[in-house]
């Protein structure tokens, strides 16, 4: 049972951080405290959790993870609040403070491109350390979309994860800093995602890669974007192919060439979805089971939907916002990762199952005893770190089993 009056110990652990949540210094202090607490034996951690109080739904988590979630619940108003700018600042400071020593890679380079609206979109390019640098053109490029409910997050909050991804897969990574809501409601983020993949295809050789070998990936909202971008690029490719066939037939009657014809759209070769948002319309049991006390609450999800869709012309069931309601046939192979203690676990697994039923190659992995957002906890939680490395290695194996061998 969660106690309403904090004990002196709990007040010392959380009080100052709650009052100074906006401060990077406070977030650094909280991160240091978390690392110190992680060195305590489990019985001691369990005692602290009992003093603070935690949601019984998370008893499967180890004591340190229970403590992380419990402290987050009493020191935070939520991942997203009515003050969006403040939420972004706190999320950025909190997540970057939790980052630890990043795995070694060769280089990172900040880039940018102009989207369809002429706005500059930041990119960060990660290159792995390779025994033979010449083989890089044989590797896939992972185009990654960060999480944050379409409202918070950026390429810095997921910089540590992208280092892990690049290091443990050995693949180059291109992280996309797409536009956020509510300033840019749906489908702005989807458009940026599509434009980023097309830009990467067109500049593949400059990036050291061969065209036609892109994996789209993302966590949470980024997983939604990866799934939606996959659907839309397949749709665009099919439409382009149909137009080419029509133009070829029209040549028989000497119709002038289509001057607006563009390069053929190339869909991704694979999609990697990490605890994705797949259905903004539906209601699932896990949304109630894990509604409170985790790192991404049902209140957070509802508020993110409000910002993402509130000023949009799209509804909750539109395929551009909810890929579960899109066309699921002939999509790239999908490796779908869910977290057991997550409000999104049911809709993520439902999406994976629907992909399977539609004839796609799919791997589903539910990561046991961890909550939503665990890939951002690698610097402070050994279990999250091991799970993150595991899903990266499994993603690499899935690529070689389902893409490389088929090409």
Task: From the candidates 73, 169, 220, 230, give the one annotated as an active-site residue.
Answer: 220
CB atoms within 10 A of CB 1: 7
Q: In terms of DSSP bridges, do strands 173-177 and 120-127 run parallel, antiparallel, or are they unpaired?
A: antiparallel
Structure tokens at 142: 């992972």
Task: From the candidates 125, 279, 300, 342, give the one annotated as an active-site residue.
Answer: 342
Question: Alpha helix locations (H) across 184-292?
Answer: 188-202, 221-250, 285-289
Radius of gyration of the chain (CA): 22
Task: From the candidates 167, 184, 372, 381, give the one annotated as an active-site residue.
Answer: 372
**Sheet of 173-177, strands arranged across:** 107-114, 120-127, 173-177, 141-145, 214-219, 270-274, 334-341, 362-371
Q: Can 372 be counted among the known catalytic residues?
A: yes
**DSSP SS3 for 8:** helix
Cβ neighbors of 294 (< 8 A, separation 6 or more) are 55, 58, 69, 341, 342, 343, 371, 372
Structure tokens at 114: 């102009």
Q: Can 279 be counted among the known catalytic residues?
A: no
**Helix/strand/coil percentages in the chain, nearest 5:** 45, 15, 40
| Cα–Cα distances in angstroms (integers) from residue 32 to residues 53, 67, 129, 238, 313, in the given order | 21, 14, 30, 52, 44
Q: Can 220 be counted among the known catalytic residues?
A: yes
Instruction: Give me the active site residues, please.
Output: 220, 342, 372
């Amino acid at each position: 049972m969660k106690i309403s009056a904090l004990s002196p110990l709990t007040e010392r652990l959380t009080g100052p951080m709650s009052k100074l949540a906006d401060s990077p210094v406070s977030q650094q202090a909280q991160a240091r405290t978390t690392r110190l607490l992680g060195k305590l034996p489990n019985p001691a951690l369990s005692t602290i959790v009992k003093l603070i109080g935690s949601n019984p739904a998370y008893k499967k988590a180890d004591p340190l993870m229970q403590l992380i979630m419990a402290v987050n619940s009493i020191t935070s108003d939520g991942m997203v609040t009515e003050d969006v700018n403040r939420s972004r600042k706190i999320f950025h400071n909190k997540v970057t403070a939790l980052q630890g020593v990043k795995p070694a890679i060769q280089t990172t380079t900040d880039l940018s491109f102009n989207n369809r609206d002429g706005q500059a979109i930041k990119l960060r390019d990660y290159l792995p350390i390779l025994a033979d640098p010449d083989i890089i053109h044989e590797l896939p490029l992972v185009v990654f979309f960060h999480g944050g409910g379409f409202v918070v997050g950026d390429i810095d909050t997921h910089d540590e994860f992208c280092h892990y991804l690049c290091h443990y897969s050995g693949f180059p990574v291109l992280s996309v800093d797409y536009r956020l809501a509510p300033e840019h409601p749906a489908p702005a983020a989807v458009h940026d995602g599509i434009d980023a993949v097309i830009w990467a295809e067109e500049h593949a050789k400059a990036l050291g890669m061969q065209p036609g070998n892109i994996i789209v990936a993302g966590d949470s909202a980024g997983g939604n974007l990866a799934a939606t971008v996959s659907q839309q690029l397949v749709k665009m490719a099919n439409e382009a192919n149909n137009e080419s066939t029509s133009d070829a037939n029209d040549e028989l009657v000497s119709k002038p060439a289509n001057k607006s014809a563009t390069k053929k759209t190339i869909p991704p070769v694979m999609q990697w979805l990490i605890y994705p948002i797949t259905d903004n319309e539906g209601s699932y049991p896990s949304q109630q089971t894990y509604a409170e006390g985790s790192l991404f609450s049902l209140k957070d999800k509802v508020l993110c939907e409000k910002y993402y869709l509130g000023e949009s012309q799209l509804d909750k069931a539109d395929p551009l916002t909810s890929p579960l309601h899109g066309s699921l046939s002939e999509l790239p192979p999908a490796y779908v990762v869910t977290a057991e203690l997550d409000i999104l676990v049911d809709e993520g697994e439902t999406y994976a199952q629907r992909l399977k039923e539609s004839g796609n190659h799919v791997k589903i992995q539910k990561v046991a005893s961890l909550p939503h957002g665990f890939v951002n906890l690698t610097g402070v939680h050994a279990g999250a770190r091991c799970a993150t490395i595991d899903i990266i290695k499994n993603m690499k194996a899935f690529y070689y089993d389902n893409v490389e061998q088929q090409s």
